[in-house]
Amino acid sequence: MKDDPSKIERAGLSRRTVLELGALGLAAAVLPNAALAKDKKLKVAAIFATPIEEPWDNQIHVALQKAEKELGIEYKWSEKVQTADFSRVMREYAQGGYQLVLGDAFAAERESRRTAKQFPKTAWLFGSGAGPAEPNFGVFDNWIHEPAYLSGLIAGKMSKSGTVGAVAAMGIPEVNRLVNAFFAGAKEVNPNIKKKVAFIGSFFDPPKAKEAAVAQIDAGVDVIYAERFGVIEAAVEKKILAISNMSDQSSLGPDTVITGPVWDMYPTVEQAIKLVKAGVFTAQDYGDFSRMAKGGSF
């Protein structure tokens, strides 16, 4: 499709930017009247199902705080939002003039999509196990299975007992992807490695995660993957090695945490803000920006 120079100019887009968006299949969606004025701050909100200290949601929060400083957005968030309250909080942000709302919709997939349709002028971008929904509901996920595999290589080499473990949230694809990658890495360097895995049935229950970790350690695990918060505390007390998850958690146990996959949500946040400011945000899967190749994990 031929570019319309007048539309591009009114949208405040360079030809290069339009070409970049075209590569994503977005060029046809340019909406000049929706572009944000250069002197106006973009209002961005986030909705989190867990407490903000939970590593998964915290990485989104950290990225948005960085965007607040570097990209000049206005940022507000809500934490510990129950499924029954999810739609209400979404509506409040949309009615409050927030142009981009991010968050964690794994526990509110149906509610979030239904509510997003009621506010087509708001850009919604949520962590989700399902696909995007037209016209304005984008999705993402942490694609840190690659560094999880690399961490497994290290765990397999460091284990003296020949048994490594993992304590994770629940047996869903998004979690299994990381745990399986970790064990695959360990097996790559030690084909005879033994593995133990426990699911705590929650995204945030540090006491239960710690309890599961202690049980594994008592059963011979000497390197453990802390997919959930609370595991490192057990590893410190039991004096074994731990692999952290999502963020650098070495401060929790400098002599315990040897490595771990890190998710950097900033490339995703930066891209979403760029598209919303230009008035061209669409329902897409933005998960690619969480991969190592895009700088979204390491």
Q: What is the pLDDT of residue 11?
A: 37
Higher pLDDT, 119 or 6: 119
Tell me whether the CATH fold assigned to 36-143+265-294 matches the one assigned to 145-259. yes
**Which residue type sits at 37?**
A
**Which residue type sits at 160?**
K
Span 11-34, pLDDT tens digits: 344 434 433 444 444 433 333 335
Q: What are phi and psi of 26, to 5 degrees?
A: -110, -10
Q: What residues contact residue 53 under an 8 Å CB cut-off, 6+ apart?
A: 229
Q: What is the pTM of this model?
A: 0.83
Task: Using the predicted structure, report yes or no on whether residue 5 has a pLDDT greater than 50.
Answer: no
Cβ neighbour number for residue 129 with a 10 Å cutoff: 12
Torsion angle, CA of 12/17/22/23, rounded to 10 degrees?
-160
Q: What is the pLDDT of residue 34?
A: 55
Task: Using the predicted structure, report yes or no on whether residue 251 has a pLDDT greater than 50.
Answer: yes
What are the residue ranges spanned by the domains of the chain?
A: 36-143+265-294, 145-259
CATH topology of domain 36-143+265-294: Rossmann fold (3.40.50)
CATH architecture of 145-259: 3-Layer(aba) Sandwich (3.40)
The 257-259 sheet, strands edge to edge: 194-199, 163-168, 223-226, 241-243, 257-259
- Going by C-alpha positions, the residue among 262, 236, 238 that lies closest to residue 248 is 262
Per the CB < 8 A criterion, the answer to whether 104 and 126 are in contact is yes
Q: What is the pLDDT of residue 134?
A: 95
For Cα atoms 204, 271, 29, give the angle at the middle one, nearest 5 degrees: 120
